[in-house]
């Protein structure tokens, strides 16, 4: 029984009860029951019917409310799990990947290079910082405005260039005030994931990041000259790609990954609402 049906029954039952009682009393019981006694019996009958039927309806309402609360709690838990997964992937997993690359370099060189050790320690420190930030972000909303937007993008580009052989060009013409705080967080995460995917999988040498305004919004393109996006990835996308798609969908952005002979292009577009 739906909530709307229960609500109407709660409203109608007392009215029907008093109406039916008055009809029976006047049609059949008037010779046996005085007007005064009938007036006394009317609220008693309504009360008994209410106890008999309406309490059951109230119980159904309470059960429905509890089920709704359990569903909301489950949804909140699932959203929290997804948020934790994103925090882990965006920060910790990526830092550990960079650490693994540096360890491989040390192993291949056969000697402990001071610069590599310094970078290794630095990335361990970053991983620890990511853990602390992930915990803090789960407790309260992130304050993205503490760091200027372009500084965040430039720092990301510099970090990827330091840890890889990629050459990354940045052509950014979107004004900072054209992006909300949440848009900055989500867009930076997509750019980060795109660059790391190029680093891990594309075997590319150059990456271009272009952000430009459009008539009704903006568009961001991350284009590399690597081996390109494999078609089988479309049927079983890995977690990073699915996360980028989810982030874009949640922000109502258009998201696409296209492959050509010259590499892969990740495009994020915001159109006017």
| 28-47 pLDDT, tens digit each | 888 888 888 888 888 898 88
Q: Give the end of a domain, one of 45, 74, 103.
A: 74
Among the listed ranges 132-146, 165-179, 242-256, which one has the minimum average pLDDT value?
132-146
State how far the Cα of 182 lies from the Cα of 141, in Å rounded to an integer: 10
Residue 267 domain-assigned (yes or no): yes
* 246, 193 Cβ separation under 8 angstroms: no
* pLDDT digits 0-9 by tens, 45-75: 888 888 888 888 888 888 888 888 888 877 7
Residue with tokens 């750019």: 191
* Among candidate residues 42, 55, 40, 43, the one with its CA nearest the CA of residue 9: 55
Answer yes or no: do 152 and 273 share one domain.
Answer: yes
86 domain residue, yes or no: no
Q: How far apart are CA 95 and CA 191, in angstroms?
A: 16
Kindly state whether residue 54 falls inside one of the protein's structural domains. yes
Same domain, 59 and 169: no
pLDDT for residue 123: 67
Residue 138 has pLDDT above 60, yes or no: no
CA-closest candidate to residue 6, choices 83, 59, 71, 74:
59
Is residue 46 a part of any domain in this protein? yes
The answer to the question of residue 109 being in a domain is no
Checking if the pLDDT of 272 tops 90, the result is no
User: What's the pLDDT tens digit per position in 181-239?
Assistant: 888 888 988 998 898 888 877 888 999 999 999 999 999 999 999 886 655 544 444 66
Q: Quick one: pLDDT band at residue 253, thresholds 50, 70, 90?
A: very high
User: Which of 74, 96, 124 marks a domain boundary?
Assistant: 74
Q: Are residues 259 and 154 in the same domain?
A: yes
Domain boundary among 74, 89, 120: 74
* CA distance readout (Å), 223 to 208, 211, 230, 246: 5, 12, 15, 20
What is the DSSP track for 78-129?
HHHHHHHHHHIIIIIIHHHHHHHHHHHHHHHHTS--HHHHHHHHHHHHHHHH
Please give the average per-residue pLDDT across 101-127, as a whole number.
Answer: 68
If you write DSSP's letter for every residue of 219-234 in order, what string do you get?
EEEEEE-SS---THHH
165: domain CATH number is 3.30.565.10
- Structural domain including 40 reads 3-74
60 and 181 belong to one structural domain: no
Percent of the chain with pLDDT over 70: 71
Question: Can you tell me the mean pLDDT for 103-129?
Answer: 67
- Output the pLDDT for position 110: 65
**Mean pLDDT to the nearest integer, 165-185:** 89
pLDDT at residue 56 in the model = 85
Domain count, the chain: 2
Length of the chain: 273
| Residue 273 per-residue DSSP state | -
Quick check: is 135 in a domain? Answer: no
> Looking at the structure, do residues 160 and 41 belong to the same domain, yes or no?
no
> Do 270 and 152 belong together in one domain?
yes
54: nearest Cα among 4, 7, 21? 7
Residue 110 lies in a domain: no
Write down the pLDDT at residue 234.
45
Report the chain's mean pLDDT, rounded to a whole number: 79
Walk across the sheet containing 254-260 and list its strands: 167-172, 206-214, 217-224, 263-270, 254-260
Q: According to the model, what pLDDT value does residue 86 have?
A: 65
Calpha distance 42→25 (Å, rounded)? 10
């Amino acid at each position: 029984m739906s909530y709307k049906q229960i609500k109407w029954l709660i409203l109608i039952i007392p009215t029907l009860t008093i109406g039916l009682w008055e009809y029976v009393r006047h049609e059949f019981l008037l010779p046996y029951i005085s007007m005064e006694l009938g007036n006394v019996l009317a609220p008693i009958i309504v009360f008994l019917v209410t106890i008999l039927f309406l309490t059951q309806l109230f119980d159904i309402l309470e059960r429905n409310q509890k089920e709704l609360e359990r569903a909301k709690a489950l949804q909140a838990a699932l959203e929290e799990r997804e948020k934790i997964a994103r925090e882990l992937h965006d920060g910790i997993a990526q830092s550990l990947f960079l650490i693994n690359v540096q360890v491989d370099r040390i192993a291949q060189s056969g000697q402990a290079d001071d610069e590599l050790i310094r970078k290794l320690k630095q990335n361990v420190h970053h991983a620890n910082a990511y853990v602390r930030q992930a915990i803090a972000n789960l407790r309260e909303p992130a304050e993205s405005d503490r760091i200027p937007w372009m500084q965040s993008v430039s720092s990301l580009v510099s970090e990827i260039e330091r840890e890889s052989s990629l050459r990354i060009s940045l052509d950014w013409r979107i004004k900072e005030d054209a992006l909300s705080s949440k848009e900055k967080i989500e867009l930076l995460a997509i750019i980060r994931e795109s660059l790391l995917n190029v680093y891990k999988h594309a075997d590319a040498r150059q990456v271009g990041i272009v952000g430009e305004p459009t008539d009704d919004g903006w568009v961001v393109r991350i284009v590399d000259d690597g081996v390109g996006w494999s078609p089988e990835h479309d049927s079983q996308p890995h977690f990073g790609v699915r996360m980028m798609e989810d982030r874009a969908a949640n922000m109502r952005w258009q998201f696409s990954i296209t492959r050509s002979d010259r590499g892969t292009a990740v495009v994020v577009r915001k159109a006017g609402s």
